[in-house]
Structure 1
Amino acid sequence: MNRSKALFRTLFPSLLLGLSLLQGCASMEPATGKQATASASICNQANSAVIDYFGLIDSAKKERPELVEALAKFPKGADLHNHLSGTVMPEDYIALGSAEGDCFGPDTSVPTMYAITTAAASGACNAGFKPLAKASADERQKLVQSLSMYQFDYQGIQSGHDQFFATFGRFGAVSGSFSNEGPMLAKLLQQANADNVIYVETMMSFQPAAVSRLADLLRQRYPDASYYTESSNYPALFDYLLSAGLKNAVIAAQKDIAAYVSSTNAVLRCGAADQDPACDVSYDFQAAVNRNASMKDGSADLPKIFTQTAISCLLADAEKRVVGVNLLSGEDQPVSMQSFSTQMQFFSYFHGRFPKVNIALHGGEITPCFVGDGNPALKDHLTGSIRAGAKRLGHAVSFSYLNDVDKAEVAAVMKSNNTLVEIPFTSNAQILGVAGEEHPFPQYFRKYGIPAAFSTDDEGVSHADYTSEWIYAVMKYGITFSEAVRLARFSIQYSFLPGDPLWTDVASAKIVSQCAGQAPGSSDPAEPCRAFLAGSAKARTQWSYEAKLSRFDNEYGPKLRKYLGN
């Protein structure tokens, strides 16, 4: 690594962290101080969910290899709930960091774990740290364990929760390097291709330095908290941000996106004769807002949350590759819990200002274990997110802990707003200790008829893959072949791809009138179906999925139906 590159990475670590969108479902940094203390003594029950989850998957791999092979090849549609930095495997981060001359040593918060840091401007490692490239086999093994949930010794639900979120800070020096974004996106697409995913939406945060600068200006101009809790003030706040250069930050973010895409294409050799098969996986971005941005005293940094929401919505309105906006970071943390209603007011305002911008929020990623029995947030974080404009909810696990009356009310809100629930089984088990019958998936999907789609969340941190989500669903819930197809179809139907969908109703497999009477996925659709597909990226992706499904059914359908039934 040359001296100028080392100097840049040393002087601007926070900028680089933001540029790589260091967060999966985690906050910008591992939980420390008040946040760590607030959650540390709440949830110490044993995590039996992880044993149940991975036990079933391991059993299937050993006892039903034919089923596992068929599920691996099954066309899974889209992965809609995906965080870029959390997707990359720790082994890949070690390789990327080694190539850049990074260092490793004890994590100051958890000294038994390793963290990666950038080298000094001279290229040397700080005291107590070593060059990552020179890590021994045992040290590399410990690094993998430190940067993910691999071989984690669950002492309880809380320990898994804390380890999961802490990993993002430990690999942040690597995920925070601008030059690594192309390789990171390439890894995401390669894994998606290996899991037979056709489309991915990945969450990223954009222009963090500009967000911080604009938030500081906004805070100085409007210092009182009441400016942010009263929605009638929001037009003035937004207008001020526009006057302070918000649109310039959006233009800079668009240039970043073009660079990300170009770099990814170069890594995968897209367009060349020997291009990587992952080039066939299409992808877009969701602009992410950190719901736990805080001041030094631990209080909510509402000016920053408002500013990041503003730039995310304005960017999604201007840039076709940014198809939606999302909230991320630990939902059970103090800032998120205490300012949830205000944050929903932010999203409601911007939803009204930019009605064409899609919103998908993490909602209900909490349990009584973390927030207490009977906490209104268990319900309000579901309905509040939908009423703020969310078309999809990520996790939505808190539904399991509502009484029947509240469940019926939440389900009615979801149905009336045509909401899809994103289901990441792996991280729900690892973070929340929820799996099996305690998980709300069968209630959503079967009892209440709520559209659902499986997702990976942070498969690098989880040290898992998308196929595992499907194996678990088959082994635990006995999903049938037709249900598997419906879940995959839901994932594309509710994607934020532009254009009208192919299906007017996925559950009944009712196709649009323009394509009625034609075999979905056929190679040469007749008019008016051909014109309809030409005018809709979503419908074209769905048509392509149907072609893949047909080919799969011809080769592997009988094998999979043997285990799943029709």
Structure 2
Amino acid sequence: MFKFFVRLSLLLMFFASAFTVPGQVSAEKYISDYLNSIRDNRALLTAFFQQMPKGGDLHNHFSGSIYAESYFDYALKADFWVNLKTLTLYDKAPAPSADIKRFSEVKAAGGLDDLRYQLLRFWSIKDYFEGDEASDKHFFDAFDKFDLASKGLAQDGLLELKQRAKAENVQYIELMYRSAKHGLDLSDLKNYAFVLDSLQRQKNSTGLAVVLDTLYAKFIRKGVESKVQDYTQAIEKTHRELLLDDSTFTMRFQGYVTRVLEDQVALFGNLVASFLSAERSNLIVGVNIVAPEDNPNSMRNYWLHMHFFKWCKKQFPTVKFSMHAGELTLGLVKPEELNWHINAAVREAGAHRIGHGVDLAYENKVYDLLKLMQTQQVAVEINLTSNEYILKVKDDRHPITLYRSSKVPIVISTDDAGILRSNLTEQFVLLANRYKNISYAEIKQYILNSIKFSFIEEEKLKLKLTHNLQQQLAKFEQQLQLSLVKK
């Protein structure tokens, strides 16, 4: 019976091959060849990737992803005050000044278009010129500049991001939305700041773990869990009321802490709150650490922050986290500061994903690090426009080829599409145009990786998103092949 089925299978294979149209190729092969033929044409690449399902965007900051036009529209609607010289916004009447006007006054005087143009440049990289100011400073300062307007778009902004994602065939967003803060009075714990600093100078990880145990117990007694519950319920309510999930789109959130804080006790409290919230909500799927990595406080306390995360990983083993690590380059910091940040994030903190990872080539024992990332499947979030603008790193200076050659899992993401005036489609255009050796099959794998390495906690949902994405990619290939053949 077994031999009969073998013979039958061989016979069917013969007839299938006999009736194949000569020269016919699979849709995937056809699309791969077509992509290779347009690698040098950015317009054709844009049309291609705009239509292609792109899976998820795993590295994006809420306020930095909203376009400046939306902030301007909100400020106009709220009729804020604005200093016409400094472009500072106020939601309450400031001290009288000839330079400060309400938006309605500016509009009545016919100056609204000029103010709009100035603010769009102030809040984003629109029409940025090299001589204006350092690009990294212009980028990071933007968050404080539009902070007041961003608070007013806490909900409408989520819908804007969802609608934009769906319009460019993105199925999932994992958003750094709101920082989880401990909300506690820590004035009686001030002396611990000196203890933490001393342990860091000694690189005393054992002593540090004991102190963190003590601080955690104090946070619990002070009621951090109830503060976290309020934070978690607010996010779940927003997600539910805005209907952010539908049949073709899913949104989840990462809590985060800001690494530039001077008060390390407060920072650890915020980190505990972030892990607690991620542990208790299926919508808050992970934790991150944000803000400029080259900031003096960030650099001074980097070792401490890695051990904060290491402690939290042990305390909250089910919570996953990504880390902005290695968002540095030669000239931004001293050379000796380039060789250990990614190593520490992977080896000490135990990060599940790495954001940026740009200083990779400078890292100590880089090939051992890459092997470890490949073995442990620590994915790297590649943000091409961001790295080019902030760090001036692009083309063959970018380490994406190092990650690729070592088979480290790669995902493509936007970082801050609003400030950078970009989107996920553009990131894939840059990828295909700049790195022609990266095949179509690899690009598809990067897209599938965006679901595989997401922090989605519900396995059933993850499998569903993966299945749907595979079907959509196959449909995209078939439809595009049909359209191109007709031409």
Q: TM-score, normalised by structure 2?
A: 0.83
Q: How far, CA to CA, are the matches of 2:179 and 2:259 in structure 1?
A: 15
Taking the TM superposition and a 5 Å limit, the aligned residue runs for 1:136-535 are 136-155=112-131, 159-177=134-152, 180-208=153-181, 210-211=182-183, 213-219=184-190, 224-225=195-196, 229=200, 230-265=208-243, 280-294=248-262, 301-373=263-335, 375=336, 377-387=337-347, 388-402=349-363, 406-445=365-404, 447-478=405-436, 479-500=438-459
Residues 546, 61 of structure 1: alpha-carbon distance in 2 compared, 3 angstrom cutoff: closer
Q: Percent identity?
A: 26
Q: Is the 8 A contact 1:78 1:491 kept in 2?
A: yes
1:228, CA displacement in angstroms? 6.7
Q: Identify which of 73, 88, 92 aligns with 1:115.
A: 88
Residues 287, 541 of structure 1: alpha-carbon distance in 2 compared, 3 angstrom cutoff: same
1:126, CA displacement in angstroms? 6.2
* Counterpart residue type for residue 415 of structure 2: D
Q: How far, CA to CA, are the matches of 2:160 and 2:241 in structure 1?
A: 12
Q: How far, CA to CA, are the matches of 2:482 and 2:378 in structure 1?
A: 33
Counterpart in the other structure of 1:505: none
Q: Is the 8 A contact 2:370 2:408 kept in 1?
A: yes
Q: How far, CA to CA, are the matches of 1:81 and 1:154 in structure 2?
A: 26
**Which ranges in structure 1 are unaligned for 5 or more consecutive residues?**
1-59, 271-277, 295-300, 501-535, 562-566
Q: How far, CA to CA, are the matches of 1:142 and 1:125 in structure 2?
A: 22
1:260, CA displacement in angstroms? 2.4
Q: Is the 8 A contact 1:383 1:413 kept in 2?
A: no
Q: TM-score, normalised by structure 1?
A: 0.72
Counterpart in the other structure of 2:70: 92
Higher alpha-carbon deviation: 225-234 or 409-418: 225-234
Q: How far, CA to CA, are the matches of 1:331 and 1:63 in structure 2?
A: 35
Q: Identify which of 470, 474, 481 aligns with 1:546.
A: 470
Residues 101, 560 of structure 1: alpha-carbon distance in 2 compared, 3 angstrom cutoff: farther
1:416, CA displacement in angstroms? 2.9
Q: Is the 8 A contact 2:192 2:265 kept in 1?
A: no
Query: Aligned residues, how many?
Result: 434
Counterpart in the other structure of 1:20: none
1:417, CA displacement in angstroms? 2.1
Q: How far, CA to CA, are the matches of 1:256 and 1:126 in structure 2?
A: 38
Residues 125, 426 of structure 1: alpha-carbon distance in 2 compared, 3 angstrom cutoff: farther
Residue aligned with 2:159, SS? helix
Q: How far, CA to CA, are the matches of 2:393 and 2:482 in structure 1?
A: 33
Residue aligned with 1:370, SS? coil
Please report the RMSD computed on the Cα atoms of aligned residues, expressed in angstroms: 2.5
* Counterpart residue type for residue 81 of structure 2: C
> Which is higher, the Rg of structure 1 or of structure 2?
2
Q: Is the 8 A contact 2:39 2:432 kept in 1?
A: no
**Which ranges in structure 2 are unaligned for 5 or more consecutive residues?**
1-37, 201-207
Counterpart in the other structure of 1:54: none
